[in-house]
Structure 1
Amino acid sequence: MGFFSGSSGGAVAPPPITRDRLVSIFEDNGWKYYIDNEGDLGGNWDDNQFYFLLRGEDGEILHIQSMWHMTPNIDRLEEVRSFIEQWHREHLWPKCYHRISDEGRIRVFCENTVDHELGATDAQLLQQIHCALGTATSFYDELSAAMGV
């Protein structure tokens, strides 16, 4: 048969992602985690909070969002903005941004999102999780050093 004949050649598609599969990956790696009151899977690495969310019509998108454990005062906003802009010029991941809380504190976030519409192996999910944890932690560490906190 030809390459584009539509035959799968006996290949089996990887399974869809689920929260239970993610929890199994966490348990296999000895990672501490929690499931919050909305059913979202979360965990802390280096005091930074991470959430592992399934998005999309069929929960096929793994969206990993994290929040820096520091909350600088609004007077440091330009430093934070400049650092984020410089990071994005030099790095592909993670997507980084900030929000201002009602108390005038700066909250800094990172995101890593991959669409697994056709399913994913555990190795693929673990790779995305490692990428999200590693790049976000690097970003937060470098931001901390740049701000002297």
Structure 2
Amino acid sequence: MAGRRHEGTFTVSIDPSSIPSFGGQDPEQTGPTGSVVIPDQELVKQLLDQMELKYLVDEEGDLAAPWEEFRTYFMFRGEGEQAVFAVRTFYERAYSVDDKPQLHEVIDDWNRRTLWPKVYTHTHDDGSVRLIGEAQTIIGLGVSLEHFVSSTVSWVRASIEFDQWVGETLGLEKDAEGDDGEGDAGETES
């Protein structure tokens, strides 16, 4: 599992000035709020290291931070002025097609009340339905380093919060606790 969780919360504290040596940027290029960078995968790796998150590079070359309940990908798409950075989370919990109307109601509520991640359903060929969350920004002309760092941290935190929220909203957290069995009551995982 990536990240540090304590009693159902995920805390990330990051000071952008403490992140070392970002490659691929022109140190002379600055804006009114500080350094302007064109983010790349190395920058995201350094940020994930600072956040103490485990990550891997998948077969398509995207960074992924795996948790037990979901995987979060950090993807760069497009080129030049059209380049986009996306944080996309694939939630592992499978639902049936019959659950889709209730899922739509729940994620519509989330999408109305929050800025990110925007969540949608995906129906697989086997008929299982999974949730996907996504946030993205255009980076082709450069972005403030501080904005990029705070957005990425916020998107990761919100992806984790969504997983907890949807479990609580659908009553799945109680079901999972009840399925553990009575003999496990005093045991904790380390």
- What range describes the TM-score normalised by the shorter chain of this pair? 0.7 to 0.9
Are 2:65 and 1:43 equivalent residues in the alignment?
Answer: yes
The answer to which of 24-33 and 119-128 deviates more is: 119-128
Report whether the alignment pairs 1:52 with 2:74: yes
How far does the alpha carbon of each residue in 1:85-111 deviate from its partner, in whole angstroms, 9 at most, with x for none? 111222222211001111111110000
Structure 2 partner of 1:17:
39
Q: For this pair of structures, how many residues does the alignment match?
A: 140
After superposition, the CA RMSD in angstroms is 2.0
Residue 121 of structure 1, CA deviation = 4.5
Greater length-normalized contact order (CA 8 Å, ≥ 6 residues apart): 1
Question: How many angstroms does 1:46 deviate by?
Answer: 5.6
Q: Which residue matches 2:88?
A: 65
Per the normalisation by structure 1, the TM-score is 0.83
| TM value normalised by structure 2 | 0.66
Among 117, 127, 131, the residue aligned to 1:104: 127
Structure 2 unaligned regions, length at least 5? 1-27, 173-190
Secondary structure of the structure 2 residue equivalent to 1:123: helix
Three-state SS of the structure 1 residue aligned to 2:104 is helix
Please tell me whether residue 137 in structure 1 is matched to residue 151 in structure 2: no
**One-letter amino acid of the structure 2 residue matched with residue 103 of structure 1:** D
CA distance in 1 between counterparts of 2:57 and 2:87 reads 14
| Cα pair 1:17 1:60 within 8 Å, conserved | no
Give the match's secondary structure for 1:62: strand
